[in-house]
């Protein structure tokens, strides 16, 4: 078997790995994935990405 080029293109890998977020409504800090994370405490989508 031979391979040409590199590994398969996974696209935006940030959506696969957990990222720290902070809810702007209830200040809960959590890890989430995907493009529209939701606070697990209050279900708000008003979140910001942490460091």
Please give the structure tokens belonging to residue 7.
Answer: 């590994």
pLDDT confidence of residue 24: 98
Q: How many CB atoms lie within 10 A of CB 47?
A: 19
- Written as tens digits, the pLDDT of the chain (51 aa) is 556 666 666 565 556 688 999 999 999 999 998 889 999 999 999 999 986
Longest pairwise C-alpha distance within the chain: 54
18 in a structural domain: yes
In the prediction, which pLDDT does 48 show?
96
Position 4 in a domain: no
Rounded distance between C-alpha atoms, residue 39 and residue 50, angstroms: 13
List the CATH number of the domain containing 21.
2.20.28
Tally of domains in the chain: 1
Both tokens of 6, joined, read 């590199």
DSSP annotation of 15 reads: G
Q: Which residue has the tokens 């959590």?
A: 30
């Amino acid at each position: 078997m031979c391979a040409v080029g590199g590994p398969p293109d996974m696209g935006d890998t940030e959506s696969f790995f957990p990222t720290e977020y902070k809810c702007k409504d209830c200040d809960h800090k959590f890890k989430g994935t995907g493009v529209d994370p939701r606070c697990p405490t209050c279900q708000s989508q008003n979140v910001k990405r942490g460091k």
